[in-house]
Structure 1
Amino acid sequence: MSMKRYKSINHDAVSEIEIKKLWSDFDLPEIVSIESQAEYSSTGFIIITTKNKYYLCLHPAKPSIFSRSQNDLLGEIDILQRLREKRLPVARPIATKDDKLIISVKGRKGFLRGYLECEALKKPSTVNLTQAGVLLAKIHLSLRRWTPPHRRTQFWGPEKIRRYWTKNKKIILASKLPDKKALVDRLEQKQHEFKFSKTLPTGILHEDFGQRHVLWHKNKITGVIDFDRSYRGLLILDVGQAIRGWCFDPAWKKLNLEKLNYFLSGYQSQRQLSVAEKKHLVQAIKFGLVERGLSFLLRGLNYNNREWLDFARRSLFNLVDEVEKMAPEIEKIKNTK
């Protein structure tokens, strides 16, 4: 058996021996092979057994900013179980023989779930865009008036950018980026522009409902993954972030109004945006670009990744400005039912 590793990821390694030892706590088939998929925020293991496949995700231990508390993980499990009750396509969390759901290895916490045997689409069609909009609305409706047993402490709204801005500003200014002052000025300007009404509809958000997190088989959605950033917030922020993920042309050239139309048509076929939400839609799309722009900027500095830094610049400058210019056209589309 081989374990695939990514040298650019500095996580404490978890060996096959440790996973097999952990496996004895479950009443599951014998392991045949293990494949690891390291990302910047976690390490996932596809565990292939004599009967089925399973997926184990382990988050970094403290003091990593990507560490997750037990309550955060239990909150994610609550969401998955709720959505499964509503017959939505998400993975099944799996407990140990003594009914424990949270796993800890070398201080790294996570949980085991069933593996979704399907793939993300690289070039979604207009029909796929409508299907994605429908599913996001169903997720919102399933979770809107529901309170999970475990409260998650993380959140990703405008208030988080403001809360951690002093710290993040210092990180950017301490870097060797030639345009660091322009980046800081841009981020300060934009974060003060975001003023979302507290009366807007709230609920539990997926937060990262992009193309790579929606899985398909034979042109049908068969899975939604990565609820690890879910939190309670304004539903329109989730719509804006999803539009960022689905409705831009390849290579992030510009917002595609046709794609936007199909996505919103699907969403509003299940859940009609309120008048107030429609007024905040352009702002929500811009926030999605700024939030991800800042995230990729900090991540690019941490991992010295030029591609991420370039993406951050494009999001913060070009794409935000283009969305602002397209506001009148977006105004027309958002009223589509």
Structure 2
Amino acid sequence: MAVFTEVSTDEARNFIAPLGVGQLTELRGIRAGIENTNYFVTTDGGEYVLTVFERLSFEQLPFYLHLMQHLAQRGIPVPNPRADAQGRILHTLKGKPAALVDKLEGSHQLAPDLHHCQQVGSMLARMHLAGQDYPRQQPNLRGLAWWTETIPTVLPHLQPGQHALITEELAFQQSLAASPACQALPCGPIHADLFRDNVMFAGLPGHERLTGFFDFYFAGVDSFLFDIAVCLNDWCIDLDSGALVEERAAAFVAAYESQRPLDGNEHRLLPAMLRAAALRFWTSRLWDFHLPRDAALLKPHDPTHFERVLRARIDKPWHPAR
């Protein structure tokens, strides 16, 4: 992701030395993203990703790193954190928490079709099932409590129509979250940020296979339905209008249900959860855009994209066929 903390070659070499991954041959900053500092690390033993965490604390990070380790041990293709001789997977670099994880094979699929959406839907369900016995607990730190805290800080930057939309939607989501139906939704560890650029595929065009999910640093315990909604709002939409591409969305949900069928409550609440997922990312993009931090390679995302997505989900609610 964006480079907030500059790491020299010597610093990287000293950092990886206790991790048994070989000798450093290349260090390269990663431009994408806005949360952490990331570098590609190449050694004579393989390829890895070095992350220096800019917002998450030493107390919060064991949840994410051990979740990745837990999922990897259960056959879910995720980056496995590298441990030192004492088995520690959370390290320190330049006074900040840091980790080294395996680099996944392949590349992003930024123009997905049914084939890609089906694979992501199926693997997402497998991930949810694999995480059900994960013992650590941590809430979704970008969930409703964060929206409630953050939206007032971005309101001064909005036009009247945007102001009305975001405050009305927040009130709707607060009411929904308090309802017995929402509180009864199946929950567990979720990725919460599984966009197109957080999934890798490899293979010939038209025959790509999913090789992994990564960037679990927004993960938390929340409803599985919210995770599905986040994916649908990215993998299954027309990027220009924000409208849901129903054929891709139906394929995604069917593939998910081939591994973990949704209950009736999840089917009923999916339209509202699609709105929740749009609100979450509209809020975070407004925050990053209007209250940015300095970073060597930082480029905030356009917040109006998820404003369009939210309006589209309100104007045309979508239910998967049963």
Aligned equivalent of 1:161:
147
Alignment match of 1:52 (pick from 17, 32, 46): 46
1:277 to 257, 266, 284: 266
Shift of 1:23: 2.3
Match of residue 206 from structure 1: 191
CA distance in 2 between partners of 1:68 and 1:125 (Å): 34
Deviation at 1:277, TM superposition (A): 0.8
Closer/same/farther in 2, CA of residues 211 and 321 from structure 1, 3 Å limit: same
Match of 2:253 in 1: 264
Shift of 1:19: 1.1
> What SS does structure 2 have at the residue aligned with 1:222?
strand
RCO higher in structure (CA 8 A, sep ≥6): 2
Alignment of 1:221-260 (within 5 A): 221-260=210-249
2:83 is matched with: 95
Deviations 1:68-117 (A, max 9, x none): 12232211122112212221111121112333221212222121111112
Q: In structure 1, what is the Cα distance between the partners aligned to 2:242 and 2:227?
A: 21
Distance 1:73 1:304 in 2: 21
1:184 aligns with 2:172: no
Shift of 1:17: 1.5
Q: Residues 315-334 of structure 1: matches in 2 within 5 Å?
A: 315-316=306-307, 318-327=308-317, 330-331=318-319, 334=320
Q: Deviations over 1:235-271 (max 9, x none)?
A: 1111111111211013354211111111111111111
The answer as to whether partners of 1:20 and 1:31 remain within 8 angstroms in 2 is yes
In the alignment, which of 189, 201, 214 is matched to residue 216 of structure 1? 201
Q: Which amino acid aligns with 1:335?
A: A
Q: Which one-letter code corresponds to 2:255 in the other structure?
A: G
Aligned length: 307
- Residues in 2 aligned to 1:160 and 1:170: alpha-carbon distance in whole angstroms: 11
Aligned to 1:312: 303
Contact map agreement 2:17 2:23 (CA 8 A) in 1: no
Q: Which runs of 5+ in 2 are unaligned?
A: none
Q: 1:254 to 1:243 in 2, by over 3 A?
A: same
TM-score by length of 2: 0.88
Q: Using the alignment, how far apart are the partners of 1:52 and 1:170 within structure 2?
A: 44
Alignment root-mean-square deviation, CA: 2.3
1:19 matched to 2:27: no
1:93-172 matched pairs, under 5 angstroms: 93-144=81-132, 146-149=133-136, 151-152=137-138, 155-162=141-148, 164-165=149-150, 168-172=151-155
> For 1:14-50, what per-residue CA distance to the aligned partner results, in whole angstroms no more than 9, with x for missing partners?
2212111222222221111111114421111111111
Q: Give the C-alpha shift of residue 180 in structure 1.
A: 3.9
Shift of residue 135, structure 1, vs aligned partner: 0.6
TM-score normalised by L of structure 1: 0.84
Q: SS in structure 1 opposite 2:29?
A: strand
CA distance in 2, matches of 1:287, 1:90: 26
Q: 2 CA distance for matches of 1:186 and 1:100?
A: 46
> What residue identity is the alignment partner of 1:213?
N
Shift of residue 312, structure 1, vs aligned partner: 2.2
| Cα distance per residue 1:106-159 (max 9 Å; x no partner) | 222121111112111122221211111101111111113x2334x436522223
User: What is the CA–CA distance in structure 2 between the aligned matches of 1:53 and 1:322, rounded to whole Å?
Assistant: 41
Of 256, 276, 284, 1:287 maps to: 276
Question: Contact 1:297 / 1:308 at 8 angstroms: preserved in 2?
Answer: no
Q: 2:61 aligns to what?
A: 73
Q: Distance in 1 between matches of 2:19 and 2:144?
A: 41
1:320 shift after superposition? 2.1
Structure 1 residues 216 and 170, CA, compared in 2 at 3 Å: closer, same or farther?
A: closer
The 3 A distance-change label for structure 1 pair 106 and 252 is farther
